[in-house]
Amino acid sequence: MERKGLLLVLSGPSGAGKGAICKELQINEPSMRLSVSATTRPPRRGEVEGADYFFLGKEIFKKMIQNGQLLEYAEVYDNYYGTPRRFVEESLGEGLDIILEIDIQGALQVKEKYPEAVLVFIAPPSKRELEKRLIIRGTDSKEIIGRRLQYVAGEMKLANRYDYIVINDEISKAVNKIRAILTAEKSRPGFFKSFLKNFN
């Protein structure tokens, strides 16, 4: 049965656990592909070019914006992040499901361009737990962690613009909730257009 792929967008505050959820989702849903974002920030320890991100200079990134080569982009914490348009559009056209793990600004841009995209806001159980996770992660200085925590209140206010909210108090529970969302979304009539035509 032919169908267009589903575009699943996961975002939320830094440290909410988006990356860990994406990895678990891919194990449970092998048909899903993770779209690799481009960024101008330097790689963190252990990150791999082309697998975690495409690490670009700011001038190259700005040219991609000018040429319309990005599905969405945003400036976050003095760096640019964006989603290369071509990979996403071609994969969806082939019927593949795509996960975008992107920031909140970018997610809302995607929703404007692709209203059928499914936006899931990943929320931490509490601000205190979020701070603890950021410290344990060990990738940011105290100053950067402080800046990230200052952004949280504003980010949480945008959660009501999403299709779903999942509180990530435990990875396995959060993943199961998202899998249930996927099942429900793939049961919408729009996914059965070619099937329904067979009965004409």
The residue extents of the domains of the chain are 7-35+96-197
Select from 101, 125, 117, 127 the least CA-distant residue to 174: 125
| Dist CA 66 CA 146 (whole Å) | 33
| Dist CA 200 CA 195 (whole Å) | 10
| Dist CA 116 CA 11 (whole Å) | 16
Q: Which of 21-25, 83-87, 128-132 is predicted least confidently?
A: 128-132
DSSP SS3 for 9: strand
pTM for the model stands at 0.80
Give the pLDDT confidence score for residue 6 in this predicted structure.
Answer: 92
DSSP SS3 for 151: helix
| Dist CA 120 CA 107 (whole Å) | 9
| Dist CA 176 CA 69 (whole Å) | 34
| Dist CA 77 CA 8 (whole Å) | 24
Express each pLDDT in 112-128 by its tens digit: 888 889 999 999 888 78
Express each pLDDT in 128-175 by its tens digit: 877 777 777 767 777 877 777 777 888 889 999 999 999 999 999 999
Select from 182, 105, 171 the least CA-distant residue to 83: 105
Give every CB contact of residue 127 below 8 A, 6+ residues apart in sequence: 149, 152
Query: Does pLDDT of 86 surpass 90?
Result: no
| Dist CA 12 CA 114 (whole Å) | 19
Give the pLDDT confidence score for residue 2 in this predicted structure.
Answer: 56
| Dist CA 181 CA 194 (whole Å) | 22
Please, are residues 155 and 108 in contact by the beta-carbon 8 Å criterion?
Answer: no
DSSP SS3 for 25: helix
Query: Average pLDDT in the 90-107 region?
Result: 88
Q: What is the rounded average pLDDT for all residues in the chain? A: 87
Please, are residues 106 and 39 in contact by the beta-carbon 8 Å criterion?
Answer: no
Give the pLDDT confidence score for residue 190 in this predicted structure.
Answer: 80
Please, are residues 64 and 86 in contact by the beta-carbon 8 Å criterion?
Answer: no
Q: CATH for 7-35+96-197, among 3.40.50.300, 2.40.30.110, 3.40.1160.10, 3.30.365.10?
A: 3.40.50.300
